[in-house]
């Protein structure tokens, strides 16, 4: 739990890679993915969320099966401590950055008018910055990062041919809501066991919970609000970007983020309170919150509520406020 002392000699690299590292963490997921759903294209957002959930689950489980250690410190100086208890191979930051950037490129390149080369460079720069940040912060080896990016690329190639079929089933199958909840819960409760506590199970539950809540929201919207394949989406294209569109997009974003963060905070308090009452522990007891019977329902219910809120409650609020 002790951090190493270090002297920053190049503030440009320090802040660049600290920022880049945040692009592979919750703060990015909880802003970029909903922004895409609210302002750009719901079909693109659906595909990115599904790919992100699958890729991250495989990456997290792979870490705890392979059990490759992170770089030794010293000689490496580690600038982060929260994930230090996790194993290193593969880098899930590299996996997520590769999956999100290139799935966004693949999903939009044939729908919107922008140069493919520009999109390719943007995806490459984004994923490269995140990968390099893991080396700079001392959290991964070069092999961890390359392995994560390659695994993500292979998964993208395997899943791409089935994208449309998966999307159609998630929107139309009557079994979608049940399977979207049951399958992730089973995976979370049967997560590989470790000899010591690691945040990987909790992080995996957070991701699968958010994906489950969002998927149920996708299905409900398609069934009872607007069919996905006939809805009109915000069109991404430089000639269409006006000050009015920018202001409306920002309004949607800030209203949505406020609701999402409020949902997260409320559900954390309510669910933790209920579990604390059930298992007789104070809410501030960190060790109790790490137990399987507490951590999984606490994080799954909280973040499935966040995913549901982002895809159902926020769009309804946007419509009520005249932001559609």
Cα 12 to Cα 14: distance, rounded to the nearest angstrom = 5
In 3D space, the residue among 267, 269, 258 whose CA is nearest the CA of residue 310 turns out to be: 258
Cα 170 to Cα 159: distance, rounded to the nearest angstrom = 15
Tokens of 255: 């209203």
Cα 309 to Cα 262: distance, rounded to the nearest angstrom = 10
Tell me the three state secondary structure of residue 282. coil
Cα 173 to Cα 215: distance, rounded to the nearest angstrom = 12
In 3D space, the residue among 107, 126, 109, 127 whose CA is nearest the CA of residue 37 turns out to be: 107
Task: Verify whether residue 93 is a known catalytic residue.
Answer: yes
Contact 233, 46 (CB under 8 A): no
| Residue appearing with tokens 């044939």 | 110
Length of the chain: 324
Q: Which of 78, 93, 134, 252 is catalytic?
A: 93
Residues whose CB is less than 8 angstroms from the CB of residue 36 and which lie 6 or more positions away in sequence, other chains included: 44, 45, 48, 104
Residues whose CB is less than 8 angstroms from the CB of residue 52 and which lie 6 or more positions away in sequence, other chains included: 29, 33, 96, 99, 100, 103, 207, 211
Residues whose CB is less than 8 angstroms from the CB of residue 218 and which lie 6 or more positions away in sequence, other chains included: 46, 170, 171, 228, 311
Cα 64 to Cα 194: distance, rounded to the nearest angstrom = 7
CA angle 104, 118, 101 (to 5 degrees): 25
Contact 271, 206 (CB under 8 A): no
Tell me the three state secondary structure of residue 18. helix
Task: Verify whether residue 318 is a known catalytic residue.
Answer: no
Q: Which of 140, 252, 268, 289 is catalytic?
A: 140
Catalytic residues: 93, 140
């Amino acid at each position: 739990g002790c951090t190493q002392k270090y002297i920053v000699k190049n503030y440009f690299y320090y802040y660049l890679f600290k920022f880049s590292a945040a692009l592979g963490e919750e703060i990015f997921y909880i802003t970029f993915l909903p922004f895409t759903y609210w302002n750009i294209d719901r079909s693109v957002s659906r595909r990115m969320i599904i790919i992100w959930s699958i890729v991250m689950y495989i990456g997290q489980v792979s870490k705890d099966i392979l059990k490759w250690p992170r770089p030794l410190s010293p000689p490496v100086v580690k600038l982060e401590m929260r994930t230090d208890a996790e194993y290193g191979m593969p880098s899930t930051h590299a996996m997520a950055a590769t999956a999100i950037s290139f799935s966004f490129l693949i999903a939009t390149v044939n729908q919107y008018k922008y140069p493919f080369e520009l999109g390719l460079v943007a995806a490459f720069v984004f994923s490269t910055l995140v990968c390099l940040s893991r080396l700079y912060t001392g959290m991964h080896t070069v092999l961890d990062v390359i392995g994560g990016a390659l695994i993500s690329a292979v998964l993208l190639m395997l899943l791409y041919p089935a994208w449309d079929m998966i999307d159609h089933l998630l929107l139309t199958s009557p079994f979608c809501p049940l399977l979207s909840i049951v399958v992730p819960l089973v995976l979370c409760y049967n997560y590989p066991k470790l000899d010591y506590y690691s945040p990987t199970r909790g992080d995996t539950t957070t991701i699968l919970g958010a994906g489950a809540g969002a998927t149920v929201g996708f299905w409900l919207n398609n069934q009872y609000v607007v069919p996905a394949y006939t809805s009109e989406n915000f069109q991404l294209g430089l000639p269409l970007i006006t000050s009015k569109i920018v202001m409306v997009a920002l309004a949607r974003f800030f209203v949505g983020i406020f609701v999402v963060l409020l949902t997260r905070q409320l559900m954390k308090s309510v669910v933790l309170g209920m579990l604390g009452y059930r298992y007789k522990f104070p809410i501030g007891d960190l060790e109790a919150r790490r137990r399987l019977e507490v951590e999984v329902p606490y994080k799954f219910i909280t973040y499935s509520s966040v995913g549901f809120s982002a895809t159902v409650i926020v769009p309804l609020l946007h419509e009520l406020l005249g932001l559609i």
